[in-house]
Amino acid sequence: MPRIPAQPSPMAQPRSFVWTRRVVLTLLLIFVLVPVYVMLSSSLKNLQDVQGSFRWIPSGLTVKPYVDIWKTIPLAHYFMNSLIVSVSATLFSVAVAIFASYGVSRYRFPGRRLFTVTVLSTQMFPGILFLLPLYLIFVNIGNSTGITLNGSRLGLIITYLTFSLPFSIWMLVGYFDSIPRDLDEAAKVDGCGPMGALFRVVVPAAVPGIVAVCVYAFMTAWGEVLFASVMTNESTRTLAVGLREYATQNDVYWNQVMAASLVVSVPVVAGFLLLQRYLVAGLTAGAVK
């Protein structure tokens, strides 16, 4: 976190500025934290507390919701599915992005600009536009070749890894560009091929950027709802679909839902906050270009 150099103001700040800052930031802090507080406090309430009128202070604290939720819905099962899908999508996405970014950053070739523009522009497509055709394609691939993509984790992994690809490539190209070319030239003089230069010089120097890309790719896959809701079945259901389904029922144990939401959020939020300076640095590197 302290990586960002704070700028001491060249002149004393007037009171109006300091007060504006205090008031605005306090209001924002409340806005941001109220849902977090609701999630945390409700997850520790007993059932009566969440079935009556809302209470700021729980009448008693209990960890029972954290125990019960695993039985109310197959949470462990969803968790495993989400974990397998997200980790695989992240690893493949980062590997593919490293190769592509190296190509874009280190070589000048016809079609280079077309590639970057095409990949980035896929970001703006509405998901709903290619959801229907992709679903049909997956169903038909399954029918004609026997490779089940619809309803399988594999289909979801392939889909998710392309979601984080454009941003990952964009960010890594910025990172690779900032690594002096002389370094890989030196490695090539020492007898490394282009791949040797990539893995011995460029990748080790770009670790912060790669970490940031991993975080981003994992978050993207972990939180996706739309494609998961169409492309999974009972046995491959992810957390996003499973929790949403339970939470929109009529009779919901809100304390258990809040407990589950907290459990699925903690790994991502903790990882993000620990590594946020890499992500911010990566964003900055990308923005400089």
Partner 1 sequence: MTATAPPRSASEAGPDSGKSAGRGRLRPRIPQRLRNIALPYLLLLPALALELLIHIVPMVFGILISFKSLTLFYIRHWSSAPWAGFDNYKIAVKIHQPIGQALLHSFWVTIAFTVLSVGLSWLIGTAAAILMQDTFRGRALLRAIFLVPYALPVYAAVITWTFMFQQNTGLVNHVLHDQLHVTSDKPFWLIGGNSFWALVIVSVWKSWPFAFLALMAGLQNIPRELYEAAAMDGAGVWQQIRKITMPSLRPVNQVLVLVLFLWTFNDFNTPYVMFGQSAPHQADLISIHIYQSSFITWNFGSGSAMSVLLLLFLLLVTAVYLLITSRRRGDADA
Q: Interaction with partner 1 in 36-75: which residues (CB under 8 A)?
A: 36, 38-39, 42, 50-54
3-state SS class at 151: strand
> Which residue, 63 or 132, is less far from partner 1 as judged by CB?
132
Query: CB of residue 9 vs partner 1: minimum separation in angstroms?
Result: 5
Query: CB of residue 273 vs partner 1: minimum separation in angstroms?
Result: 5
Binds partner 1 (CB under 8 A): choice among 62, 64, 199, 205: 199
Binds partner 1 (CB under 8 A): choice among 78, 85, 88, 90: 90
Tokens matching residue 61: 């604290």
By CB under 8 A, the residues from 6 to 35 that bind partner 1 are 6-11, 13-14, 16-17, 20-21, 24-25, 28-29, 31-35
Tokens matching residue 257: 């839902």
By CB under 8 A, the residues from 114 to 173 that bind partner 1 are 115, 118-119, 122-134, 136-137, 139-140, 143, 158-159, 161-162, 165, 169
Closest CA to 159 of 122, 115, 209, 116: 122
Query: CB of residue 161 vs partner 1: minimum separation in angstroms?
Result: 7
Query: CB of residue 61 vs partner 1: minimum separation in angstroms?
Result: 18
In angstroms, rounded to a whole number, what is the distance separating the alpha carbons of residues 121 and 165? 12
Q: DSSP secondary structure string, 155-168?
A: HHHHHHHHHHHHHH
Query: CB of residue 287 vs partner 1: minimum separation in angstroms?
Result: 5
> Which residue, 59 or 284, is less far from partner 1 as judged by CB?
284
Count of other CB atoms within 10 angstroms of residue 18: 11
Cα-based distances in Å from 5 to 2, 8, 11, 21: 7, 9, 17, 19
By CB under 8 A, the residues from 257 to 276 that bind partner 1 are 257-258, 261-262, 264-265, 268-269, 272-273, 276
| CA-based radius of gyration for the chain | 23
Closest CA to 87 of 166, 162, 160: 160
Is 192 a residue that touches partner 1 (CB under 8 A)? yes
Tokens matching residue 135: 């679903």
**CA angle 143–145–151, rounded 5-degree value:** 55
Query: CB of residue 90 vs partner 1: minimum separation in angstroms?
Result: 7
Burial of 247 (0-12, 13-18, 19+ CB in 10 A): middle
Window contacting partner 1 (CB under 8 A); options: 59-67, 68-76, 177-185, 217-225: 217-225
Binds partner 1 (CB under 8 A): choice among 57, 60, 182, 248: 248
Window contacting partner 1 (CB under 8 A); options: 58-66, 71-79, 175-183, 223-231: 223-231
232, β-bridge pairs:
151
In angstroms, rounded to a whole number, what is the distance separating the alpha carbons of residues 189 and 197? 10
